Structure 1
């Protein structure tokens, strides 16, 4: 990626994911504490309490994966990082940057009717998403113009 890099991450989703992670840890920790203090029809050991806290931490970690999506772009390429993986495309590989009606996320349209969802640009972010799409389209157009001039 060159020096002028556009970067976008989801905004509202981050607050929800962080809040959800906190709730998971707090609830499972409280359940773990209450396991031994009240009779539930079974005997719970300290290991059961630790396991409950561990489950809360695992669920919190899973919720925090929703914070990971990011899109980075410059005049040469675009990199889309979603929850589990990242892919990089030159602008020549991308046919369109779109946000279909009713879609939850933006996407890169590729040849042969393929597309890559951009989880970093969700519909719930409203004007932030519109600005991000416009910037990606501007970079694609600028890349096409420079390619055309060089060729």
Structure 2
């Protein structure tokens, strides 16, 4: 029961380019700081360790920033943002919104609140974000129709 715009479930939406840049930058920073720790001859063991730990901390922070995603499956949608995650049933989602100028998609929920969805953001890859927002909207519409039938 899928249309050309409605993907097969389960499907994961995430900002691929942003994620790639953040993880590559984190890995590069870790390698550079570890290289500095190894190559500088006058550093003591504690100083070397602090360089390596700083590199690991930078990588960890960038990994957390690369974490946002949206996973849609037969039962509902899981939204994972930077510091939190939330599981939603299909019936809880009233509307998927991505207006011009919005930094990411918003889900209007049946309880009257909106949930930001950082897993679909038009900043770096605008066309991909628009396709993902349309696909999520089509899934919500198809699932809400199926739940009413």
Using structure 1 for the length normalisation, give the TM-score: 0.80
* Partner SS, residue 118 of structure 2: strand
Give the direction of change, closer, same or farther, for the CA distance of 1:112–1:147 in structure 2 (3 Å limit).
Answer: closer
Q: Tell me which stretches of 4 or more aligned residues in structure 1 moved more than 4 Å.
A: none
- Residue 106 of structure 1: aligned partner: 105
Give the count of matched residue pairs: 141
The aligned residue for residue 7 of structure 1 is 12
SS in 2 for 1:95: strand
Structure 2 unaligned segments of length 5 or more: list them.
Answer: 1-7
Task: State the structure with more CA Rg.
Answer: 1
Task: Name 2:133's counterpart in structure 1.
Answer: 133
Aligned to 1:142: 142
Distance across 1 between alignment mates of 2:59 and 2:68: 16
| 2: CA distance, partners of 1:86 / 1:14 | 17
Aligned position for 1:78: 77
The CA distance in 2 between the partners of 1:64 and 1:28, in whole Å, is: 17
- Match for residue 57 of structure 2? 58
- Residues in 1 aligned to 2:91 and 2:84: alpha-carbon distance in whole angstroms: 21
Structure 1 unaligned residues grouped into runs of 5+ = 38-43
